[in-house]
Chains A and B, each alone.
Chain A
Amino acid sequence: MRSEAGSNARGCFDRLRRHGTRKLEDHPSSVTKLAPRQVQIRVDSVSHRFGTGILAIDEMKFEIVAGEFVVIVGPSGCGKTTILNIIAGLTAQQTGAVSVDNGPPKAGRHDVAYMFAQDALLPWRQVIDNVLFGVEIHSGARRLTDEIRERAREILAMVGLGAFENSYPRQLSHGMRQRVALARTFLMPSPVLLMDEPFGALDAHTKLMLEQGLLRLWERDKRTVLFITHDLAEAISLADRILVCTARPGRIKSEISIDLPRPRNINALQHDERYHEYYQRIWGDLSQEMVV
């Protein structure tokens, strides 16, 4: 465990440095608990070795500031899911320092919401009750208020499933189920969202639709997102900043800020020259890590 004073001091330093080098935002438009540009997720010298002795992550180090959309992209087996699980507190941390909102990672923190590659819907609940599940667990209340139900309907409509609130998961297609999971994640007021290849198993077209849906939800309150993927196109479409991961053992190889204007239109991006420039630049980086 690192000392609190040390971490705070370094946090202040980082903030100062950022304020110095970047143009400061005039006013935070949304009323969030955190000042913008404050470091919300910090990973420092984290290594992880599996039980089998394989080194999955080697001295990984990065920081994510509040309201930032960061995507980690890397070849399969680079430990990107492992680092996400460590931040989520689902996997025990072995070395280094990890902090989320200046606290140690812990599973079940209400300020962190996790979205999986699988939809993880409860088959016996209708869509609307699946969307409400996260809030229901967090509040511990037996009955939820009409206000929160109304907000769940609103989010469902935003992901295009307004007409399906009373359907059961098995009546929905794969892409629709993942949209329900997206709505469940965003209904929770958690300021930090961790997403583990949530669209990895979808076909290309459905994926684009869901990415657009994710951006639409994210634009509303700009929460801090750490998103894992192996799909470079997806990474560029979504991210403020991309961290490229090396092949096993995983390390952050390079870091690229994506200065594409927001709000973004995923379809329009495909015709944007800068998008393709980013793609080629990062692809060069990434392809070195892929041993064919």
Chain B
Amino acid sequence: MSSGATRFDRTVEPHEASGESRVSIVIGLRKTFLLYGSRALLFFGLLFIWSAVVRLHLVDRVFISSPEDVGEFLITNFWHELVPNTLATLLATMIAFALSSLVGVLAGLLLVELPYLKWIVDPFLTAFNSMPRIALAPIFILWFGIGVPSKVALAFSLGFFIVLMSTFAGIRNVDPVLLRLSRSLGCTGWQQFTKITLPWAIPSVFAGLKLALIYSFLGVVTSEMLASKVGLGQLIMYYSGILRMDAVFAILFVMAVCAVILTVIADRIEAALLGSWTEPLQSARGS
């Protein structure tokens, strides 16, 4: 049944060798199945070992809880506790990410356009960027209070530099032969920027944005752990303070899921925008 449907779909496009591609689709499906199957096996295998360790009293439940307790916490506290705190954390993450992206890209462009400015501020940028940003958290909390602004400030201080550096590097790394081409064709400055420099820099900028997204999340959670009213970071500090390991593991699980979802969304957007020209080579064609 399903193979018939597949064949029909394929024959709609006559230029494709339908027999060959059907085989490759079947192989692809089998691979996907195998991949997700192995991942599920690994996940439940680890849960099983964890559960066994607790049941055999190899390690005290107080320290590592158990998968059953964590699951129960996840379900009972999902709507009134986990969801609102996750949303608070994600909201701050998105604000910080948006700010880092916008300001980071603009600052990157500015530094490329004004090399003198870059010379002047370079050591300051390096100093600021290599400073452990978490040390700034107390200052931000003092300045902005324990609401959204202080979380955003810490996350921004991480994300901004990542985007700035990757934008700068992307633009500076334009293939010199393309710049020669631009010169020999007589590109105007604007043509060179929009048709050569910018497209060239986009993959690098995107790599920076993806990193900045994860770092914004990290910055927000860190800030929440130090002082905050709502958020996953604050929640994890509270529950570890009262030795509720089931809650701590449940929150860690939620964080991991958030991070994975953010990464997947970023990857999808990147793939949709950059498409086939950055994709790894699928089939080499001889001349």
Contact = CB atoms under 8 A, between A and B. Distances in A.
A122 B183 contact: no
A114 B186 contact: no
Given A118-B177, A170-B277, A108 B287 contact: no
B180 interface: yes
Interface in A170-190: 170-176
A176 to B, nearest CB: 5
A167 B277 CA distance: 9
B80 interface: no
**Which residue, of B185, B274, B281, B284, has the highest number of chain A Cβ atoms within 10 A?**
B185
A125 B278 CA distance: 11
B184 A107 contact: yes
Contact of A109 (B186, B278, B285): B186
Contact of B285 (A113, A134, A140, A172): A172
Interface residues of B, number: 27
Dominant secondary structure at the B interface: helix
Interface stretch (B191-199, B243-251, B262-270): B191-199
B186 A138 contact: yes
A116 interface: yes
Contact of A170 (B185, B274, B281): B281
B109 to A, nearest CB: 19
A108 B195 contact: no
**Chain A interface residue count: which class?**
20 to 34
B115 interface: no
A137 interface: yes
A110 B187 CA distance: 11
Given A118-B177, A168-B276, A168-B277, A107 B183 contact: yes
Given A122-B199, A206-B287, A116 B177 contact: yes
Contacts of B186: 107-110, 137-138
B183 A90 contact: yes
B277 A137 contact: no
A108 B276 contact: no
A120 interface: yes
B181 A120 contact: yes
Nearest to A169: B277
Interface in A229-255: none
A132 B184 CA distance: 15
B132 interface: no
Contact of A120 (B177, B195, B287): B177
Given A114-B184, A171-B284, 8 more contacts: A116-B177, A118-B177, A120-B180, A122-B195, A122-B199, A123-B277, A137-B186, A173-B284
Nearest 9 pairs of A and B residues by beta carbon: A108-B186, A114-B184, A173-B287, A175-B287, A120-B181, A137-B185, A168-B277, A118-B177, A124-B277
Interface of B: 175, 177-178, 180-188, 191, 195-196, 199, 202, 274, 276-278, 281, 283-287
23 contacts: A88-B184, A90-B183, A108-B183, A108-B187, A112-B184, A114-B184, A116-B180, A116-B181, A118-B177, A120-B177, A122-B199, A123-B277, A133-B195, A134-B185, A137-B187, A140-B191, A168-B277, A170-B281, A171-B284, A171-B285, A172-B285, A172-B287, A206-B287
